[in-house]
Amino acid sequence: MKELMQSEPVRELIRAILTLETEEEVEQYLLDVCTINEIATLAQRQQVAFLLRDKMTYNEIEEKTGASTATISRVKRSLLQGGEGYEAARKRLKGE
């Protein structure tokens, strides 16, 4: 995974995202580069990560988000392996 993240196409994608300045620009960009299902999946994973950090149970998260236990488990594994990206976004969204 680290090799993929260091590839020039991925680095360029990251730089492109960083150039966007408004929610509308990000919305349009996501619609251009992702399918609706991919956007929904990304949003659901973020929601699951935030709810896991809030100490909600798998059952509560499944009920609230519709995420499968497999998805919840996958996100939890990511959090246990660091989850720095989720945490940075969560803190900034909460104004910390």
pTM of full prediction above 0.85? yes
Per-domain residue ranges of the chain = 1-33, 35-96
Q: What one-character-per-residue DSSP string does 37-80 give?
A: HHHHHHHHHHHHHHHHHTT--HHHHHHHH---HHHHHHHHHHHH
Total residue count of the chain as it appears in this document: 96
The predicted-structure confidence for 63-94, as pLDDT tens digits, reads as follows: 999 999 999 999 999 999 988 999 999 999 98
Q: At what angle do helices 8-19 and 23-33 cross, to 10 degrees?
A: 150
* C-alpha triplet 3, 9, 13: angle, nearest 5°: 110
CB atoms under 10 Å from CB of 50, counted, come to: 19
Q: Could you confirm whether domain 35-96 is CATH 3.40.50.1450? A: no
